[in-house]
Amino acid sequence: MSNASLLLLLKTGLYVTTGSLCCQLLLFFIWLSSFQDVVAVQTVFDPSHASSVAELGLANPPTTGFFNPIEISPAVIPNYPNPADEPSQPMYPNFPTRYEPVLTGKCPVNFSTISSVIEKTATDCFQPLAAILGNVMCCPQFSSLIRIFQGLYSFNSDKLVLQNSVANDCFKDIISILASRGANSSVPTLCSINSSNLTGGSCPVKDINAFEKTVNTSSLVEACTTVDPLKECCRPICQHAIADAALRISGKQLMMNENKNLVGELNYTDTLSDCKGVVFSYLSRKLSSDAANTAFRILSACKVNKGTVFKYLYN
């Protein structure tokens, strides 16, 4: 073998040996790093470090490297000695608490017979919204309740209205019941309705016999038994029947007061309005409370809307 061949063989062996050694070193380092990772997972923390962390008021560190539930130290929970310093709670609707009302005991009416109308009124006159939606929701419903109650009270008598003293007590009971169910207690002021609305005011006809002799009651009840919410505002049927009945019982004659003194001709507009209340009382006697409430609410809606939305539908 020549010297050149021997030199080539030595170089080749050196390269092979060097390559094998590099591979072995590379495998050793890979094994060493994986061994260190395994040992790190199982390493126990030094308690001295844990105590120093706890002294800072932080949460206690875990005793092992595994993921256990985190224990929060009471030291990190904020303490508010003054309740006023506590952060405000999220805003939620605050509904009034219902309670049993205190009644006068002087109003001989079973209010449970019109409980559905009372609940509806309390909802529509809910405390925060009564002042905002008074003319649209609360006042029409409250007016309907007063008319239905007036008919309920007179159902077992020959009168269509209440006496002044009884009207005051019953009106107080109505407001107390509504307030106990979350309604705004200032509804009478918001809606300009008081106990005098139960008395018939200056209307000359207040008893059932005189009313039925003066008014075509069958036509009145038929016109208002079923009120169409669309047609009534454009081509009134029930409203015309009520206005005609009120006109008939109002009269234009001179009236005498209780002392039989001549008081002159009354304000005819007020008299006509009071007589409409008497007509509503009569209808409340003839219709169920729910049917009467539906009809009266539709009439109020027509008054509020003035029929402007519906004129284009029927013209």
Per-residue pLDDT tens for 17-58? 444 565 566 666 666 555 444 444 444 445 555 455 445 445
Claim: this prediction has a pTM higher than 0.75? no
Altogether, the residues listed in the chain come to a count of 315
Question: What is the rounded average pLDDT for all residues in the chain?
Answer: 76
What is the arithmetic mean of pLDDT over 109-132?
89
pLDDT for 251 equals 82
In single-letter form, the type of residue at position 158 comes to D
- pLDDT beyond 50 at 127: yes
Per-residue pLDDT tens for 71-100? 666 665 666 566 555 555 555 555 567 889
The region of weakest confidence among 47-51, 127-131, 146-150 is: 47-51
What SS3 state is found at 126? strand
- pLDDT beyond 90 at 241: yes
Taking only Cα atoms into account, the Rg of the chain, rounded to an integer number of angstroms, comes to 44
What residue ranges do the domains of the chain occupy?
112-314
Say if CB 117 and CB 289 are below 8 A apart. Answer: yes
